[in-house]
Amino acid sequence: MASYDTWGQSSRGLLNDFSLQSYGGDAVPLSTHARSYAPSEIEFSEIDLGSEPPLSQDAKVKLPVVSNHVAPASSKLPLRAPVDAVAAPGFSGEGESCRTVIVRTDGPVPAKYPGGSFRLFCTKLGLLDPLGLPGNNIRTAKYTVLSFLPVNLFQQFTRVANMYFLFIAFLQLIPGLSPTSWVTTVGPLCFVLFINGIKEISDDLGRHSSDAQVNNAPVTVLRGHEEGVRQWKHLQPGDLVKVAAGCQIPADLLFLSSSDSADLCYVETANLDGETNLKLKYCYRGTKIVASAVDARTFAASSWVECEKPNERLYVFEGAVVKADGSRDALDVANLLLRGCTLRNTDWVIGLVLFAGLDTKIFRNRVRAPRKVTQLEQNMNVLVGAMFLVQVLISMLCALGQNSFNTQYLQEMWYVTAPMVFPDLPPGGGAVLVQFLRFIILINQLIPISLYVTLELVKVMQCTLLTWDLHMYHKASGTPFLCRTTTLNEELGQVQYVLSDKTGTLTQNIMGFVWCSISGKLYGKQAPPELDTPHTITQDSELLSMLKTGKGEQHQQAVDFLTHLAVCNTVVPATTAAGQLIYQAASPDEEALVQGAAMLGFKLLSRSIDQVVMEVQGKRMQLQVLAVLEFNSDRKRMSILCRLPDGRVRLYCKGADSMIFARLAPEQEVEQASQPHLAEMAREGLRTLCLGQRDITDREFQVWSSSYHEASVALQGREEAVAAQAEAIETKLTLLGATAVEDRLQEGVPQAISTLSAAGIKVWVLTGDKLETAISISLSCHLFTHDTKLMIIRENDLADGREAVSEALLIKATEANRINTEEQQQGRRPNIGLVIEGAALATALLRHNAQPFLGLCPSMPGGGIGDGANDVGMIQAAHIGVGISGREGRAAVLASDYAFAQFQYLARLLLVHGRWSYLRNSEVVAYAFYKNFAYCLPNILFAAVSGFSAQPLYTSSLIATFNVVWTSWPTIGFAVLEQDVKASTVMRHPQLYRETMNIRRHDFVATLTRWLLEGLWHGIVCFFVPLLALGQSRRNGTVDGIFSYGVATYTALIIITNLKVAIRTHYFTWINVTMIGLSIGCWLPALYGFSSIGPLQRTLTDMVELGPHLFSTPAFWLGVVFCAPVMALLLDFILSSWQQQRYPLDRQIFQELEQMGRVDDIPVHTEASAISQIADSDRVLEVI
């Protein structure tokens, strides 16, 4: 059964007399249960089908509305299945003169309706739609007051570490099972959950505030003769709204009319695609005079709108206005005002709401940003799993040990006999399980609970310092560095590949019209080099002289050429408050060409939907626009058909040379003369376009126009149909010539790319230029040098069959490996450049070709950098996405992880901050596992000498505060402020970046193993030194208790682990020193305080009098406070010194050079292999 949901807006009255009408048959009466309703009520009426009427796909609904005073004629509403929305005419009634009915279907309509019911919903204007059709209310917030706690806790406990500690907390709540208090786990866990929860609340409050601001924004709605103000959230499909200049469009609107005399408006789409240039929109021709709801009555009574279903395509809209006589007027994206756009340079517009709320294109384009996980985080997750296995193994061995001990000695040791009830069971499987769980609880801190919070806090602080780096602040535009994520800092230090857009990223995106070829003659090369304008073609004396003479065939060809530039474009002329004419364009190339033509006397004055007004050498000329065939990436060309003042129809077409040459009339001398000019332009790195035109007879145009109109109003396959009609008319062109536009490199780009290359980072530049142009630009930006061996892969090289393509790629990969090997054997850095055409790249990336192609460019951590909306996909897919705040808007910035104003800052971001962040954060991870391993080891060793009893060595208060209070702050200071070498040293010697770039999981495991071995030694020292120092009996025959010994061990751990941070620190600040000093210095007073308040606090009763007693014991000061740290860290000093002498790292050599002030004496970009041979300071001095 298919059901039809019909929703309408009506005034107060009765709803009755419905009929269902087939296009091919009579109306079928439908019984209704109608009743009156008040304006504030919503009426639900069920309509029963008593029989099985034939129902076709194109069934109509007759819907008369009867008010108290007016009984208007019914109107037929087309019902098309499964078309989503039909905006149909409204009806006159009391209080309002224009309403719209939206008809939706749930599914395909069967040929025979088997009986059943459908529902009709009516709602007073202003109420939310009861059918579930989206209103205009939106919500981006994740939580509500009621949902926050369960949803946030669920999300936090999806993290394995949090689930692990929750499991430990549950075990601790089992009576008699846990050897430690539940506070030792629940306290730190709650602290971690609280910190994350506060962060989520802060973020979501911002989202709630933004939602409320948007939903409650006012908008003018037209009702009858009045204009009423409503909130955005109350808008529904069918409302007529009026938007004022400077305001955002509240929903997706059909543009009906505007204050502009040319029936157009200008919108800024920065919120949609990031582009800040103004876009031109044209109103529907049939409603130009609409200024109120009364004016729309004729349109509403005789027309309706059919349109596509809601979708995410920002640049495509397929719809039509259907008139009562069956004729159709096409609607396209130029008639659609999208939600989120801002109205500019137009006083007001009136529009009909087509899509609201979640159906609007801006919300259909909402996609969750992909979650990016750094390699360090992946390694950390693996490490957590490995440490859990270690914990399980140790716990099982200790449990088996206790079971063996009890079996052998329990009967003899009558004074420790247990009650033999749960959980203290006799030796056996049950006892092993219980003891296993006890040891799991006892040594649960082998996995550091504070690590994740510490890392998040550290990364936030690192990002704060990043934004404060004035070396990445662009003073000219006032653009600071921007961190849009706090999770990827260390990944910046492991980037091996950078994929970069060219235009606007490497270049300034300020186009200059510099050369042109007109009818086989090249202009612009002789222009003066130093000019105030980038459009140097305007100063070419030969071109200016020829235009001034006004005679001859060459002059006419130049006039046609420059007229073409002024007409065939989408540039929007606008006048400033000072009366100056400026141009707004989606394409900087078009803006440059139009501006250059204007400076040469061919000035575009205005543009509307049906005409172009221009000034040609002082004379005003008006052209009627007949059709516009827009540019897209498939067509690579644009055309416009105009009627000239003398009545002729002319087609202007411009595009890539390959596209224009393929559509030229045969045997043109200009074609042969222009090709050398195009080649020379490409070698100079200029962007080229070719221009062609032809005159069309009226008869040919009429035939084509009819077919084109039919294609343009199609609701299915419109793009393909329009493209086919464009292909049919764009033939037999006459070549006018070619243009060359220059886009200069940004400041510092060549130096930045050279630095990245010296660091071992492979840079890919993605450009739509010709191959020759791309190579020329690569040389100018130092991507290639003149010594670079180029490997070129053209489309034709991969045009053969599947096996041949794979073989060709394999041959290229083999050749690259051979060259690399030869260069390395000769002690040189490999210098190979790969150039691949777009079509060849698409072939190489096919699944069956991927393996040989990856031999040329293996998949490694990479960064993507761009400045435009077309770069968003690359930026989001890259491990690190970087946006440039350029002239193409903020789309790239909004999609990025990091953003700044100039490409040159990328080198500092990766080499300085990325390298520092990786070294710092990897040490934070290693240190967290090291100190917790050293902390847990005394408990394990104590178990070995206490019958594996699972008795904790530390009191509950000490367990709960070890990570949070006594050992966290020094590592936070280290992770935020440490600089192993100066930033200037890294930028001068970028090979230092390879130390972090080339680290893989096995390197991480090796480093962590060394840390854990050091933790093993430190744990042993912390266990045995206090045992030896305090294990002797006193003169009165008593010995220190277990908690005296535990506090002494704990004291040694605090001193050793904090001093470990100190000896790993190379760059000391007062903050580092303070954090280390306070962490050690505050412990002893705190110990005394705990001892003093122990009788008053139940959790501290085990520490009563421990402080005064230990402080009065000389062995405590000599053995624990002095000897234990010396013994533990002495081995660290010995091993570190041996490593630096025998196997020095590059950074260690440069640390010595910095101390001697001789870094500048090492040649810039010296290879790491040469520096790593320097083993000590004497050899450093010798090399210098």
Query: Domain boundary residue among 81, 96, 123?
Result: 123
- Cβ-based neighbours of 360, under 8 Å, separated by 6 or more: 251, 252, 310, 338, 339, 340
Residues 667 and 792 both lie in one domain: no
CATH code at position 287:
2.70.150.10
Residues 703 and 781 both lie in one domain: no
Residue-number span of the structural domain to which 591 is assigned: 515-743
Q: Which of 295, 359, 501, 1146 is catalytic?
A: 501
- Cβ-based neighbours of 73, under 8 Å, separated by 6 or more: 64
Residues 673 and 757 both lie in one domain: no
Residues 563 and 625 both lie in one domain: yes
3 state DSSP class of 146: coil
What pLDDT is recorded for position 90?
Answer: 33
What pLDDT is recorded for position 768?
Answer: 80
Query: Domain boundary residue among 305, 331, 364?
Result: 364
Average confidence (pLDDT) per 10 residues, the chain, 1184 residues: 31 31 32 31 32 33 28 32 32 30 30 26 32 72 87 83 84 81 79 83 83 89 78 86 91 88 81 73 80 69 78 84 81 89 88 87 77 85 88 93 85 67 76 90 86 86 92 89 88 92 85 92 81 85 86 88 94 81 83 93 88 90 92 87 94 93 90 91 89 94 91 81 92 94 90 91 86 86 85 76 67 74 70 82 74 62 81 86 77 84 93 94 93 94 88 87 88 93 92 90 91 94 91 66 89 94 92 92 89 69 80 89 94 90 87 83 66 49 48
Residues 345 and 229 both lie in one domain: yes
- Cβ-based neighbours of 310, under 8 Å, separated by 6 or more: 84, 85, 355, 359, 360, 361, 364
CATH code at position 779:
3.40.50.1000
What pLDDT is recorded for position 172?
Answer: 82
Is there a domain that residue 128 lies in? no
Is there a domain that residue 587 lies in? yes
Is there a domain that residue 112 lies in? yes
Strands (E), 15-63: 18-21, 27-32, 42-49, 60-62
- Residue where the block lists tokens 């270049």: 507
CATH code at position 601:
3.40.1110.10
Tokens linked to 551:
């005679």
Query: Domain boundary residue among 123, 147, 178?
Result: 123
Residues 877 and 942 both lie in one domain: no
Residues 736 and 755 both lie in one domain: no
- Residue where the block lists tokens 């606007």: 504
CA dist., res. 345 & res. 336, Å (int)? 17
3 state DSSP class of 569: coil
Residues 705 and 763 both lie in one domain: no
Is there a domain that residue 411 lies in? no
Is there a domain that residue 145 lies in? no
Residues 1115 and 972 both lie in one domain: yes
Is there a domain that residue 827 lies in? yes
Residues 1179 and 1057 both lie in one domain: yes
CA dist., res. 119 & res. 131, Å (int)? 9
What pLDDT is recorded for position 888?
Answer: 63
Tokens linked to 886:
């350029």
pTM given for the model = 0.78
Residues 851 and 719 both lie in one domain: no
What pLDDT is recorded for position 71?
Answer: 28
Total number of domains constituting the chain: 5
CA dist., res. 402 & res. 946, Å (int)? 9
3 state DSSP class of 887: coil
Is there a domain that residue 371 lies in? no
What pLDDT is recorded for position 600?
Answer: 92
Our answer to whether residue 329 is catalytic in this structure is no
What pLDDT is recorded for position 86?
Answer: 33
What pLDDT is recorded for position 906?
Answer: 94
Is there a domain that residue 169 lies in? no
Residues 718 and 756 both lie in one domain: no
What pLDDT is recorded for position 225?
Answer: 66
Query: What's the residue count for the chain?
Result: 1184
CA dist., res. 424 & res. 688, Å (int)? 86
Other CB atoms within 10 A of residue 410 CB: 16
